[in-house]
Amino acid sequence: MPPAHPFDDDKLREECGIFGVIGLSDAANFVALGLHALQHRGQEAGGIVSHDPEIGFNSARRFGYVRDNFTRQSLMETLPGPLSIGHVRYSTSGAKGPTQIRDVQPFFGEFSMGGAAIAHNGNITNADALRRELIERGSIFQSGSDSECIIHLMARSLQRNIVERMEDALRRVEGAFSVVAMTRSKLIGVRDPLGVRPLVLGQLGEGWVLSSESCALDIIGARLVREIAPGEMVVISAKGGVESHFPFRRRKSRFCIFEHVYFSRPDSLIGGRSVYETRHQIGVELAREAPVEADLVCPVPDSGTPAAIGFSHESGIPFAMGIVRNQYMGRTFIEPTEQIRNMGVRLKLNVNRALIEGKRVILVDDSVVRGTTSRKIKEMILDAGAAEVHFRIASPPTAWPCFYGVDTPQREKLLAATMSEEEMREHLAVDSIRFISLDGLYRAVGEAGGRDKASPQYCDACFSGDYPVAPSDQIEKGFALKAAE
């Protein structure tokens, strides 16, 4: 499946979304709704597994959007039962380009004590080494996904039951993982010891829900109970009991700070804090750090909007929707010739010429990756008659790739990895460009003292090059870590 929009290759790709339900009739229908709310986390493909006491396990995996597949009654009738998990995918490992159906999660395994299905958000940084070891010992892989390693590790474990086998398997795994899994009678949720990727627990009537984000609880009317803690495993039985334990060595949390900036939906809560309010505060900090005389503050829709509102409030410069997004733009609907590809941004965004003409414009965006989209948007603004164009970016310069579940370009393709801020300004041919500082971002997410350099409160490797878990597979391939300062 091609990207959802013609220039999405210039954004960091969201990782994946996971959702699980136990104790509700036709649980798969609730899972489909939850996955729909998590669609922003992965648009390539989705899958659902359900279990019915009389029929057993059933699964469906499809390419494309949830709305185009898991809304059909004929399909949902094949997924009965009170227990179900699901996954929406963007490939951070496995096949690139057109997705292989075999890489679509959840993955299912039949063990001596019964079947189990697993869905994973994140990335296993020692997957190559694990895969080699498992193949040498006789494992036969069905996919190219790093997540399948967990199933094979469970199969080889000598522990007595599936929950203990999962603990055993996950202790071998390095990197980032939030997992939802199911047996015939239990729903399981796990976060890695650093808590890099999110996972929350909700309740709906007598049923329980696990989700990547709280916004997906809202769509089914579930109540947010709490976040699953870093390193925690919860095991929920069909009778409604929630058991919690910590099978891993305790470590300081390093939640992904980019969830606050871009990945999570603005109507989600992280750590009891509204993502929207955090992004608004990022704009406030940005206005304090990088003021500029201008006539209008305009967001690059939609992810730049809360920060642009915060920038406007703090600076006193009027907020305006100088760029309007075509809400009905899906995949390119005509043959993508070179001419059409060059129109890619215009198919999705259009400049409000009446507002822009003759004005000094501040454009607020969430990030700059390769810079290709920023140049096209700048050209559109100038074509509409803007007098000046100033970029203000609601994240620090993205100078390092992420190996924890985000599909990031190679380091040399990241604009900030090879250019200074002034060189980026010249490359983009704008009047100015400024990024929020790392300390400013930390203040915006609630760390009043900024970033603790000795022991950072978040994973910010994409900005700092400080990787909380060494990406061993990548190092083996020649990736050079940042030199110690």
- Closest alpha carbon to 16 in 471, 303, 406, 366: 406
The rounded distance, in Å, linking the Cα atoms of 49 and 272 is 30
372-383 and 421-428 helices, crossing angle to 10°? 50
Angle at 24 between CA 21 and CA 25, to 5 degrees: 125
Phi-psi region of 20 (alpha: psi -120 to 50; beta: other; left: phi over 0): beta
Q: Do 323 and 350 touch, CB atoms closer than 8 A?
A: yes
CA-based end-to-end distance of the chain:
43
**What are the backbone dihedrals phi and psi of residue 179, each rounded to the nearest 5 degrees, phi first?**
-130, 135
Helix-then-strand count for the chain, H and E:
18, 23
Indicate the burial class of 121 (C-beta count within 10 angstroms; 0-12, 13-18, 19 or more).
buried
Residue carrying structure tokens 């795994």: 173
Residue carrying structure tokens 């969430």: 366
Token pair for residue 207?
A: 């049923």
Q: Which stretches of 283-338 are assigned E, i.e. beta strand?
A: 296-299, 323-325
**What are the backbone dihedrals phi and psi of residue 236, each rounded to the nearest 5 degrees, phi first?**
-110, 125
**What are the backbone dihedrals phi and psi of residue 282, each rounded to the nearest 5 degrees, phi first?**
-60, -45
Answer positive or negative: Cα dihedral of 253, 257, 258, 263.
Answer: positive
The rounded distance, in Å, linking the Cα atoms of 140 and 131 is 10
- Closest alpha carbon to 104 in 150, 71, 134, 147: 147
Token pair for residue 253?
A: 């949390």
User: Do the bridges between strand 432-435 and strand 388-393 make them parallel or antiparallel, or are there none, so unpaired?
Assistant: parallel
- Closest alpha carbon to 181 in 133, 135, 118, 234: 118
* Cross-strand partners of 107: 118
462 is catalytic: no
Q: Which residues contact 208 (CB under 8 A, 6 or more apart)?
A: 21, 22, 23, 187, 201, 202, 236, 240, 242
* Cross-strand partners of 224: 202
The one catalytic residue among 16, 402, 459, 462: 16
Positions marked active-site:
16
